[in-house]
Amino acid sequence: MKIHIVDKDETHIEGYEKVEITDNTFSLDKYSNNECSFVLASDCLDLIDYNNITNSLMMIRQKMRIGSTLVIGGTDIRLLCRAVVSGHIDAETFNNMVSNKKSLSEITSISKIVLDLGLSIVTTKISGIHYEIEASR
């Protein structure tokens, strides 16, 4: 089973089951533990309340089977702040960006959560102010 966690208005990749984020969270209740072989959640961390990120990642981890892959990502708050201070992002752009997000995190703390859940980090990527972590169980 492959799932794609997206905002409620986003389209999902064909061949993946769509899981919508609504009201700062999502539900994986219809999936059994250890059922998922791939979980794609590239930008989902920006759409989840900051205080709920660890619980959300724990919920995903429960659904992952041995040998499965998780791809998660979001906007790195440190890189965003650096871009504003350096003048690469103006105030209007910054406000438009953060008004659409429920939280901002950073790659170091999310990597630590992933490792604490017993997952192995395969790769980390940073592109501009966005990061992506690929992990396996």
Q: pLDDT band for position 69 (50/70/90)? A: very high
Q: Is the dihedral of CA 115, 5, 48, 51 positive or negative?
A: negative
- Considering the segment(s) 2-136 as one domain, its CATH architecture is 3-Layer(aba) Sandwich (3.40)
Say if residues 75 and 104 touch (Cβ distance below 8 Å).
Answer: yes
Helix (H) or strand (E) holding 17: strand 17-21
Question: What's the token pair of residue 5?
Answer: 């966690």
Q: Distance between CA atoms of 107 and 103, rounded to whole angstroms?
A: 13
Query: What burial class does residue 26 get, using C-beta atoms within 10 Å of its C-beta: 0-12 exposed, 13-18 middle, 19+ buried?
Result: buried
**Any idea what DSSP says for residue 119?**
P
Question: What's the token pair of residue 121?
Answer: 């980090």
What digits encode the pLDDT tens for the residues 77-127? Answer: 999 999 999 999 999 999 999 998 899 999 999 999 999 999 999 999 999
Q: Distance between CA atoms of 90 and 106, rounded to whole angstroms?
A: 21
Q: Is the pTM of this model over 0.75?
A: yes
What digits encode the pLDDT tens for the residues 21-46? Answer: 988 889 999 999 999 999 999 889 99
